[in-house]
Amino acid sequence: MNFGKFKNLLFFLFVFTLQSSISNCATSERIFLDQGNFGAVSTGSRAATEAAAKILKNGGNAVDAAVCAAFMLGVVDFTNSGLGGDGFALIHLPAGQIIALDGSIQRPADDSLNKVDAGLPACPEMLFKLLREFGSRSRAEVMAPAIKTCLEGFKISSYLHGVIKKKLITLQDKAAINFLAPNGYAMPAGHLLKQPRLGQTLMQLARDGGQSFYRGNDAKTMVGHLKSLGSTYEMRDFENFRSLVKLPVKKEWQSFSLYGTPPPSSSVAAIKLALKLAELNVDLFTPVAENIRKISHITREVIDFKYNFLSHCLNYPDLFITQNQPTKSQESPARENDSMTTHLCVWDQNNLAVSMTLTLGSHCGSGHLSPLGFFYNNEMRNYKDVVARYPDDYPRKAGPISSKAPLMLKKNGRLVFIAGGAGSDRIIANVGLLCARFIANPEKAINSIDDPRYFLDYKDCLNYEWSPAIASNDYFKLNFDNSKLRESGDDFFGLVAAISKEESAFTAAGDFRRDGHCRAIKKDPQQKRSFALQLFFNRKKGFNQITVSGPIEDQYQSTSAWKSAQAFSSRKTHEGMTFAYPQNQHTDRLTTRVMVTPQKSSGGGRLANLFAKRPVLVNDEKVSPAIAEYCRNYLTCNSYYQLIENLMVDIGFSLPYRKVRKKTSAEQLLKMGYGDCSGKARLMNEVLQAYGLQTRLVGGLIARPGMKTATHIWVEIKTENQWLPVCPVNFHFGQIPTNWVKLRHGDRPTVAPGGKLIFSISEKND
C-alpha cells in the first residue's frame, strides 16, 4: 500500500506518542505553596489533596472536596484519622454565614464498667451530614478515590513508615500487628499497601450512607468486637449517635473577626492565644530569645488554662476568652499526651470553605484494628484528667475536651484566612501563633508555616526544631535553662494547613512536616471550554462513503459540523454527517469544533428528591436471565437515588475495571467479572431500564492534557424533561466535567462503516 496514504496518520501517531510520554512524566513532587484564582486545598497528604483538587476542577464544591479528602486521609494517613475517628469542622457558606459541626465521640449510655479507651466511630456520620447539607456530588463520587486507593493500593511514605515503626513497640492487638507488619517487620517506605477490607466497608458506606455502619450488620460487628475488648457500647449507642450543628465562637479584634468551633474543641484557646499575641509588643516572626521566651510562656499559660477551665465553658465559650487567667500557682499544668490528629482546608471559588480537624486520638487510636479494616479512636481516654479537669456536672452526652482547633478569620466582614493543625496541644500553639502572625502581616504569615517551631512543655522544657540557622543547640542552652533540640520535621510539632485569599487570589500553604501538600486551582471550572477535534480514520478495505456521528448539540454543548480533508461532498443526516469520495479511500482526517458549557450542579439533595420514588422492577422479562437475576439484588433499595448510588459502587468496583478490546455487552461483563466502560455502561443502562427508568447510552471523548484523549461511554437518565448523566466508571452523577465531549447517543458506531479511529483534541482559548 502507498506510504503517502498514511503520512498524515503516521505523523500524528508520532506526535501523539511523544505528547503522551511527556504528560505521563508529570511531576509527583509535593507542593508547599501554591496560588490560583479558583479555589485551593491543603491537607496532610498528597493523595488527599490531589483527590480533593480534582473534585474542585470538575466543578464540585468545597464540601464535596473536603469530604473526599477526609475519606482519603482515612486510607493513606490511617494512623492519624479514619472511619474510627471523630472531628470538628467549620463551614463558611457563600452568603457569609459560618456554622460549626461537632463530630466528637459520645460515651456509652452505661460506661460504669467500661474497661477500654476505644470510642464510638463518629467520623462517617459527620462527613455524611456535611455532604447532605452542603455538598453537590454523590457519595459514590466523593468516596471513589478512597475506595480505589484501598483496592489498588498506595505506597507507604517515609513519614508513615516512621510512625508504624514506633507504634509497633506498644501494640498488643494481633490483628493490628499483622496489618502493620505483615512480613514480621514494619512496612517499609515504598511498600504497596492494599486494604481490601477497608475498601469493602467504604463501599457499603457509599451504598447506604451509613445505614449498616450505625444501624445494621456493620454496627453489630463493631459492637461485638468492642465488647470483646471490654467496652460497654451497645447498638443503641450507635443508632442514636448524631454529630451536632452548632453556632461558632466569634471574637472581634480591630477589623478582624476570629471564628472557631465551640467547646469541647479548643478553638477558643487558639483564639485567646492569637489575641494575646496580637496585643503583644514583640516581633512574632523573628526567633530571638526574648521573643521566643514571651511567646512560649503566654502559650503555656493558655494551654494550662484550657486544661483547668475549658470543660466549664461548654455553654459559655466566650467566657473562656474573656476570663482572666489565674496565677500559675493556682493552676494545674496541662499534662502532655500523645494525641495526634490531621487537618484539612478547602476553599472554592464561590466562597464555600471548610476547615476540619480529624483524629483517632493517639497514633492508631486505641491500637485495636476493627474487623471492618480501620483503627478505633481512643478518645474515651480524653474523659480522664490527662486532658482536662472535669466538673462533676459535665454533661454525659458531651464529647471530651479536645485540642482540635479549626479557625477562620474575616477582615471587614470578608473571609480572608482559614487554618487548622495537628499534634495535640501544639495545635493551639501553632494555630494561635499563625493567626496572630496573619493579623500582623498576612503575606509573611502564609510563608511562615515552614519556619522552625518551638513549644514549652509542662516541665518548662523548651522543645525547638532544628533549622540551618541553628546548627547546634548552644544558642538555646545559653538562653534557656531547660531546652531540647528536635529533628527538623519531628512529628512532635504536628502539621498545619492553611489557605488565605486576597481579592480573588487564593494562596494555599502545605506543611513540609508529615506528608503535607497543597494545591490551588488555576483554571475556572465554571468557564466554557472550546475544543478543536480531529478524527483520523483508516479502513483497510477502503471506502467511498462514510457517516460520522455527532458531535451532539444540546443545552450544554454547541458544535460545528464535521469537515473532511478529502471528501468531495457532504450532507447532514439525522445520524451525523455523511461524506462521499471521488474514489476508493483508505484514510481521511475529519475536524470539528465543540464548545462545552459547564452543567449546573444538580446537588446531592436535589438528585435525592428527583429520584425519591421507590424503585419497582417492571421490565425484567425484557432482559436476559442473567441481567434479571442481577437486577434482583436491588429490590430492597428504598429510592431510585439509592439504586443508582448502589449500581455506581457495585458496577464501578465489584466488577473491576480492565480494558477490553471489543465492544462488551452487559451479559458478557457479568460473565467475565470485569470490563471497561463499554460493558459497565451497558449494564447500568439495562438495569435502570428494567426498573422502569428512561435511559440512553452516550458515547464521547474525555480530553486530557497534551493531545491525549480517551473514548468513553456513559448513561443518561431522563427525569423532569432533562437528561442527567451517570457514569459507573468515573462515578459522576448529575453532572459531568467540561472536558467530556459528547459524540453520539445510543449504540450506533462513531463512523460507519467501521474502521480504525484515532482522536486528537486540543483546547482553544478563543
**385: pLDDT confidence band, cut at 50, 70 and 90?**
confident
CB 137 within 8 A of CB 604: yes
**766: pLDDT confidence band, cut at 50, 70 and 90?**
low
- pLDDT (tens digit per residue) in 576-594: 899 999 999 999 999 999 9
Position 480 scores a pLDDT of 77
End-to-end CA distance of the chain: 40
Position 473 scores a pLDDT of 56
- Whether the per-residue pLDDT at 16 is higher than 50: the answer is no
Left, alpha or beta for 731 (phi > 0: left; psi -120 to 50: alpha)?
left
CA distance 254 to 272: 15
* Least confidently predicted of 25-29, 421-425, 642-646: 25-29
What's the rounded mean pLDDT across residues 455-483?
Answer: 79
CB 269 within 8 A of CB 297: no
- Whether the per-residue pLDDT at 180 is higher than 90: the answer is yes
Task: Report how far Cα 362 is from the mean position of its chain's Cα atoms.
Answer: 22
- Whether the per-residue pLDDT at 671 is higher than 80: the answer is yes
What's the rounded mean pLDDT across residues 24-45?
Answer: 85
- Whether the per-residue pLDDT at 639 is higher than 80: the answer is yes
Position 287 scores a pLDDT of 83
User: Apex CA 245: angle with CA 240 and CA 246, to 5°?
Assistant: 130
**685: pLDDT confidence band, cut at 50, 70 and 90?**
very high
CA distance 657 to 674: 6
CA distance 463 to 62: 36
- Whether the per-residue pLDDT at 166 is higher than 50: the answer is yes
- pLDDT (tens digit per residue) in 262-275: 999 999 999 999 99
Left, alpha or beta for 185 (phi > 0: left; psi -120 to 50: alpha)?
beta
Dihedral of alpha carbons 606, 608, 609, 611, sign? positive
H/E segment holding residue 671: helix 666-672
Strand-strand pairing, 256-260 and 407-411: antiparallel
**548: pLDDT confidence band, cut at 50, 70 and 90?**
very high
- Whether the per-residue pLDDT at 116 is higher than 80: the answer is yes
Position 281 scores a pLDDT of 86
Left, alpha or beta for 190 (phi > 0: left; psi -120 to 50: alpha)?
left
CB 482 within 8 A of CB 2: no
**Hey, what's the cell of 224?**
461485638
Left, alpha or beta for 447 (phi > 0: left; psi -120 to 50: alpha)?
alpha
**Hey, what's the cell of 368?**
485495636
Left, alpha or beta for 357 (phi > 0: left; psi -120 to 50: alpha)?
beta
CB 87 within 8 A of CB 100: no
Position 329 scores a pLDDT of 44
- Whether the per-residue pLDDT at 23 is higher than 90: the answer is no
Position 386 scores a pLDDT of 81
Position 472 scores a pLDDT of 57
Dihedral of alpha carbons 462, 466, 470, 471, sign? positive
Ranges of beta strands (E only) in 128-217 are: 154-155, 192-193
- Whether the per-residue pLDDT at 532 is higher than 70: the answer is yes
**94: pLDDT confidence band, cut at 50, 70 and 90?**
very high
CA distance 10 to 16: 10
CA distance 686 to 243: 39
Q: Which residues of 546-566 are buried (b: 16+ CB within 10 A; e: fewer)?
A: bbbbbbbeeebbbbeebebee
DSSP 8-state symbol, 632: G
**478: pLDDT confidence band, cut at 50, 70 and 90?**
low
Position 26 scores a pLDDT of 42
What's the rounded mean pLDDT across residues 188-212?
Answer: 97
Position 14 scores a pLDDT of 42
Left, alpha or beta for 576 (phi > 0: left; psi -120 to 50: alpha)?
left
**331: pLDDT confidence band, cut at 50, 70 and 90?**
low
Position 15 scores a pLDDT of 41
Average pLDDT for the chain: 91
> 302 or 25: whose pLDDT is higher?
302
- Whether the per-residue pLDDT at 9 is higher than 70: the answer is no
User: What pTM does this model have?
Assistant: 0.93
Residue labelled with grid coordinates 479584634 = 253
723 burial level (CB within 10 Å; 0-12, 13-18, 19+) = middle
- Whether the per-residue pLDDT at 362 is higher than 80: the answer is yes
Position 599 scores a pLDDT of 84
**251: pLDDT confidence band, cut at 50, 70 and 90?**
very high
CB 533 within 8 A of CB 593: yes
- Whether the per-residue pLDDT at 4 is higher than 80: the answer is no
Position 748 scores a pLDDT of 86
CB 319 within 8 A of CB 311: no
What's the rounded mean pLDDT across residues 226-243?
Answer: 97
